[in-house]
């Protein structure tokens, strides 16, 4: 049996999601007849919805509840529910049984009294997958449920559950567990299985599982076969999170603010089909370790506290943006370019104690000294990256992106990017000084070059 099944929380006390645990524990003190008879658990996969559903089932069915109301875990009902073979606890996966028939079937059978236990409990997983007809049938059942029936509905997409159903159930939203909550869950297993694993390694597992208890426990099980002490290095190797050396090279390039080198590494990882989110998680947890070291005033060359904070902040927001980006690696690439473009000078000068005004003067001078263009950006490159460029602009201005979609880059020369619009009002819109400035800034961010933007009217 897998760790996940063996160590599924068997009593409410063991639920690792703190908010869920505290809410559900309030149910323990109640008389069974006073408990809600319909529950709706929503939240991302792997957050413990099914586990909580089975606990509710035990709460109703346990033959010898403990003094504090917790199910005993040892009676026939508790054991049968834990093993998923209790006859009066019916689990339906709506993702595979979407038809009205199943719910009709449910409506017919639900009238019959439970065969062994006191209650008849229906756990309907992925309830949002039910067809409209099936939802209507379910609603009718919920409106007039037989007194022995309990419904626990679980879903990863609560928006798709009709409000009429939501309002008839006790709704509990399961949020993604924090790394600390996952670490608590893993520690429980580590202690029982006596696995020799270091704290850093547990943390890496927690972070890599991206808020899924199930994935974290699976990862732990995978690395538990390792002979000897398990540290963070062993974890990233065993889970092939990404090549240790590649991560080191990437962070090294970042520390040196060498954008080209860092982008080359990203490009290679993508060509190799590596998962960029995992790569980023590993890089971030490495930076986190460095940050903790720096707080203890130990050497972290070539990083310092400020550069670490800055890099962590930029890479973390890139991670958050990856979810919604149509080009997965783009937020990471942007973060790299942004980070590398920043003048390290600023930090050094702060350390030397130069006053802020003087610093601003230096920065202003530097930006004036910036050559208008280094000639690396070409029309071909801009045309090739036009879609990425539009994507990068989206958060700033949707309507400009719309206009740009029907325009095209025409020329790149002498530090001037010429854009060709095909309607007068498009040309006017893009020629507004604010818009031109925004476009120039976006080009600088994306390609690292300072340019001026011109807009001309072309013929279709
Ligand atoms: Zn029991």
CA of 14 to the centre of ligand 1 (A): 15
Write down the number of H helices and E strands in the chain. 23, 8
Do 183 and 206 contact (CB within 8 A), yes or no?
Answer: yes
Tokens of residue 202, six digits: 């547990």
**Which of 250, 380, 256, 378 is CA-nearest to residue 318?**
250
Predicted confidence (pLDDT) at residue 359 exceeds the cutoff of 80: no
**What is the 374 CA–ligand 1 centroid distance (Å)?**
74
Q: Ligand 1 mean position to 12 CA, how many Å?
A: 13
- Name the DSSP class of 413: E
Q: How far is the CA of 79 from the centre of ligand 1 (A)?
A: 7
How many Cβ atoms are within 10 Å of 322's Cβ, its own excluded?
17
Instruction: Give the list of residues 6+ apart from residue 228 with CB closer than 8 angstroms, or none.
Output: 196
Report the b/e string of 335-345 with b at 16+ CB within 10 A.
Answer: bbbbbbeeebe
Where do the domains of the chain lie, and which CATH numbers do they carry? 3-173 (3.40.50.300), 179-238 (1.10.8.60), 244-281+290-369 (1.20.272), 379-457 (3.30.300.180)
Q: For the chain, give the mean pLDDT.
A: 85
* pLDDT band of 217, cuts 50, 70, 90: very high
- Please provide residue 30's backbone torsions phi and psi, each rounded to the nearest 5 degrees: -85, 155
Residue 113 Cα to ligand 1 middle (Å): 20
H or E, element range at 91: strand 89-93
- How far does the centroid of ligand 1 lie from the alpha carbon of residue 148, in Å? 18
pLDDT (mean) for 54-69: 94
Which of 14-28, 68-82, 175-189, 263-277 bottoms out in mean pLDDT, i.e. has the lowest? 263-277
Q: Is the pLDDT of residue 242 over 60?
A: no
Residue 375's pLDDT is what? 59
219 has a pLDDT exceeding 50: yes
The larger pLDDT score, comparing residue 413 to residue 166, is at 166
Residues 6+ apart with CB under 8 A from 162: 135, 139
The burial of 452, by beta-carbon neighbours within 10 Å (0-12 exposed, 13-18 middle, 19 or more buried), is given as middle
How far is ligand 1, taken at its centre, from the CA of residue 115, in Å? 17
Query: For residue 41, how far is its CA from the centre of ligand 1 (angstroms)?
Result: 23
**126 φψ region: left (φ > 0), alpha (ψ -120 to 50), beta (else):** left
CA of 11 to the centre of ligand 1 (A): 10
How high is the pLDDT of residue 351? 40
CA of 66 to the centre of ligand 1 (A): 8
End-to-end CA distance of the chain: 67
Q: What is the predicted pLDDT for the residue at 61? A: 96
Ligand 1: distance of its center to the CA of 61 in Å? 7
The per-residue pLDDT for 324 is: 84
Residue 358 pLDDT exceeds 60: no
Q: Distance, CA 83 to ligand 1 centroid (Å)?
A: 13
298 or 188, greater pLDDT: 188
Q: Kindly list the protein residues that place their beta carbon closer than 5 angstroms to ligand 1, a single-atom ion.
A: 62, 71-72, 75, 78
Reply yes or no on whether the pLDDT at 216 is more than 80: yes
Q: Does residue 59 register a pLDDT over 90? A: yes
- How confident is the model at residue 350, as a pLDDT? 42
Tell me the CA–centroid distance for residue 380 and ligand 1, in Å: 70
Measured over the CA atoms of residue 374, residue 376, residue 380 and residue 386, the dihedral's sign is negative
Strand ranges across the sheet with 149-155: 89-93, 120-125, 149-155, 38-42, 170-173
Q: Is the entire prediction scored with pTM above 0.85?
A: no
pLDDT at 337 over 90: yes
> Does the pLDDT of residue 42 top 50, yes or no?
yes
pLDDT in tens, 374-398: 557 888 888 888 888 888 887 777 7
Cα-to-centroid distance, 327 and ligand 1 (Å): 51
Query: Ligand 1 mean position to 186 CA, how many Å?
Result: 25
Helix axes 259-271, 330-341, angle to 10 degrees: 170
Predicted pLDDT at 246: 80
- The pLDDT-based confidence of 420 (bands split at 50, 70, 90) is very high
Residue 53 has a pLDDT of 96
């Amino acid at each position: 049996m897998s760790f996940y099944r063996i160590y599924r929380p068997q009593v409410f006390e063991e639920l690792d999601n703190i908010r869920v645990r505290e809410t559900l524990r309030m149910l323990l003190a109640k008389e069974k007849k006073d408990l809600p008879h319909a529950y709706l658990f929503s939240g991302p996969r792997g957050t413990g919805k099914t586990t909580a559903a089975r606990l509710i089932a035990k709460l109703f069915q346990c033959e010898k509840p403990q003094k504090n109301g917790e199910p005993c875990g040892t009676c026939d009902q508790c054991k049968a529910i834990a093993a998923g073979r209790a006859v009066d606890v019916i689990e339906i996966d709506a993702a595979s049984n979407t038809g009205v028939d199943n719910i009709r079937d449910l409506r017919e059978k639900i009238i019959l009294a439970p065969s062994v236990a006191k209650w008849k409990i229906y756990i309907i997983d992925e309830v949002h997958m039910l067809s409209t007809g099936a939802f209507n049938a379910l609603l009718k059942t919920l409106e007039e449920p037989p007194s022995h029936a309990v419904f626990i509905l679980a879903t990863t997409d609560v928006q798709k559950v009709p409000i009429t159903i939501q309002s008839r159930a006790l709704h509990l939203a399961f949020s993604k567990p924090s790394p600390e909550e996952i670490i608590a869950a893993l520690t429980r297993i580590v202690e029982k299985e006596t696995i020799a694993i270091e704290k850093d390694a547990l943390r890496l597992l927690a972070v890599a599982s991206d808020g899924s208890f199930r994935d974290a426990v699976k990862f732990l099980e995978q690395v538990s076969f390792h002979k000897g002490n398990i540290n963070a290095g062993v974890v990233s190797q065993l889970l092939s999170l990404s090549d240790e050396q590649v991560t080191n090279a990437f962070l090294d390039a970042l520390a040196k603010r060498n954008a080209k080198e860092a982008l080359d590494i990203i490009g290679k990882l993508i060509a190799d089909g590596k998962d960029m989110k995992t790569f980023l998680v590993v890089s971030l947890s490495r930076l986190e370790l460095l940050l903790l070291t720096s707080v203890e005033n130990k050497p972290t060359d070539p990083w310092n506290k400020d550069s670490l904070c800055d890099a962590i902040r930029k890479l973390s927001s890139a991670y958050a943006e990856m979810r919604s980006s149509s080009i997965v690696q783009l937020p990471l690439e942007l973060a790299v370019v942004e980070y590398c473009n920043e003048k390290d000078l600023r930090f050094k000068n702060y350390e030397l104690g130069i006053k802020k005004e003087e610093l601003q003067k230096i920065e202003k001078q530097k930006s004036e000294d910036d050559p208008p263009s280094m000639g690396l950006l070409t029309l071909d490159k801009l045309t090739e990256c036009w879609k990425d460029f539009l994507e990068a602009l989206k958060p700033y201005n949707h309507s400009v992106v719309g206009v740009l979609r029907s325009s095209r880059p025409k020329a790149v020369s002498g530090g001037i990017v010429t854009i060709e619009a095909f309607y007068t009002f498009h040309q006017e819109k893009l020629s507004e000084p604010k818009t031109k400035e925004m476009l120039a800034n976006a080009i600088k961010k994306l390609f690292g070059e300072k340019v001026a933007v011109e807009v001309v009217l072309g013929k279709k």
